[in-house]
Structure 1
Amino acid sequence: MNVSQTIATDEGLLTCLHISFYHPQQHYKGLYHLLPLGNKSKHLADESVRLGRDAQSCTFALADPRVSRKQLALQAYRTPESPEMLFSLQNLSQTVKVSVNGTSLDFLERADLPSKALVRFGEYEILIIKEASEAKLNFEVELEVLLVPPSRETGNCEPCNLPTIEMGTHLIPEQPVQVPIETDEELTIRSLDNPPSLYTSGTL
């Protein structure tokens, strides 16, 4: 991946997608260690940016067995009516639904992204904010981690399966959450009370 420290190129300033992650168990070590947090990565506008568990087939990988091998894709596009680069999000998972600002997407379904979007899948909340520019050939992505759920700021609180209680800067489920674990052969269920071995004590 071509990581850039600047946003100025021969074509001028690049459109930048600021992507912020939140997960209630993110304090466990290893969840984001494959992500280039804090760096801007440059991408060709005609190629999709994929997020998932498989670091070989995805642009950005989450070290989490609950995430599908290929979870979602971001694709840039343009229209005759707008000089700005626009983006759509497509759900690539056959087992985990993705929602964009409350609209649920099944496998291969796609939604246009507004300038500010709250994306959810599993227990992840991802805030995507677009910093627009008129550059046509490339765009940038910057990743970071949030300490609180972005749904608090956006007010976009989708129906939850479990009630929550507020504790510090995190929302803590009142009872164990059942989350699907995707494997090559079958879908199994594991409780967050017994997190996978990749989650060990420590910091991000």
Structure 2
Amino acid sequence: MSCFEDADTEETVTCLQMTLYHPSQQQNRIFQYIKFYNREKLSSSEVVRFGRNSTICHYIFQDKQVSRVQFSLQLFKKFDSSVLSFEIKNMSKKTSLVVDNKELGYLNKMDLPFRCMVRFGDYQLLLEKEEGESLEFFETKFLLSSRSLLQENNWPAGKPVLEYGSYSSCSTENSCPLEMDENEF
């Protein structure tokens, strides 16, 4: 199913479809605040934040291993282009973000390709963009995968995501350190 708006409208809208996977998503209800299989229209000027803080983030991951703001997405138009693009920025001081095997540290950002894999901790997000004409709005659409996206899409696994100075795969709740807010002691 396409992310484009209905055919009777004049202008199509750029859509970013995100397929999410986490090995313990069922038991821990990590994605309980995300509306799957529905399109959501957002203003093209909006910076969309993902993380665990419900007052700052548009999309919430219910997991203490996720930073208050894990990463952000912003729409932009490249100079000499009519095509809208997305920029992803790592907002976590504790966890690197891996985009197609390119590691982004804190405040690093890059343009998203049309199709890419974004990973941090045990999270896997397959992002796919459909182009549209509108400069005023874009849409997001979330899908949920019950299988590893790396295996399902034959994506190269690359190296594990760096967390707290050592490579780790946070497969169990107690195997990874939790991020604490500055005011939590």
Please report the TM-score for the alignment, with normalisation by the length of structure 2.
Answer: 0.84
Cα deviation for residue 187 of structure 1 reads 9.4
Structure 1 pair 6/162, CA: closer, same or farther in 2 (3 Å)? Answer: closer
Output the CA distance in 2 between the equivalents of 1:93 and 1:134: 32
Counterpart position of 2:159: 159
CA RMSD, aligned part only? 2.6
Output the CA distance in 2 between the equivalents of 1:11 and 1:87: 23
Alignment of 1:14-53 (within 5 A): 14-53=13-52
Structure 1 pair 22/136, CA: closer, same or farther in 2 (3 Å)? Answer: same
| 1:95-119: CA deviation from partner (whole Å, max 9, x where unpaired) | 1111100111111110110000100
Output the CA distance in 2 between the equivalents of 1:121 and 1:177: 17
- Which ranges in structure 1 are unaligned for 5 or more consecutive residues? 164-172, 189-204
Structure 1 pair 117/187, CA: closer, same or farther in 2 (3 Å)? Answer: farther
Point out 4+ residue stretches in structure 1 off by more than 3 angstroms. 8-11, 160-163, 185-188
Q: How many pairs does the alignment contain?
A: 175
Output the CA distance in 2 between the equivalents of 1:45 and 1:176: 36
Cα deviation for residue 178 of structure 1 reads 2.4
Equivalent residue of 2:25, what SS?
coil
Asked if 2 retains the 8 angstrom alpha-carbon contact of 1:13 and 1:133, the reply is: yes
Larger fraction in strand: 1
1:89 aligns with 2:106: no
Equivalent residue of 1:117, what SS?
strand
Counterpart position of 1:98: 97
Output the CA distance in 2 between the equivalents of 1:43 and 1:176: 33
Q: What amino acid does structure 1 have at the position aligned with 2:37? A: G
Q: What amino acid does structure 1 have at the position aligned with 2:40? A: S
1:144 aligns with 2:149: no
Q: What amino acid does structure 1 have at the position aligned with 2:30? A: L
Alignment of 1:1-204 (within 5 A): 7-8=5-6, 12-152=11-151, 153-160=153-160, 178-185=175-182
Asked if 1 retains the 8 angstrom alpha-carbon contact of 2:99 and 2:117, the reply is: yes
Q: What amino acid does structure 2 have at the position aligned with 1:93? A: S
Please report the TM-score for the alignment, with normalisation by the length of structure 1.
Answer: 0.77
Output the CA distance in 1 between the equivalents of 2:120 and 2:25: 15
Asked if 1 retains the 8 angstrom alpha-carbon contact of 2:86 and 2:111, the reply is: yes
Asked if 1 retains the 8 angstrom alpha-carbon contact of 2:21 and 2:123, the reply is: yes
Equivalent residue of 1:180, what SS?
coil
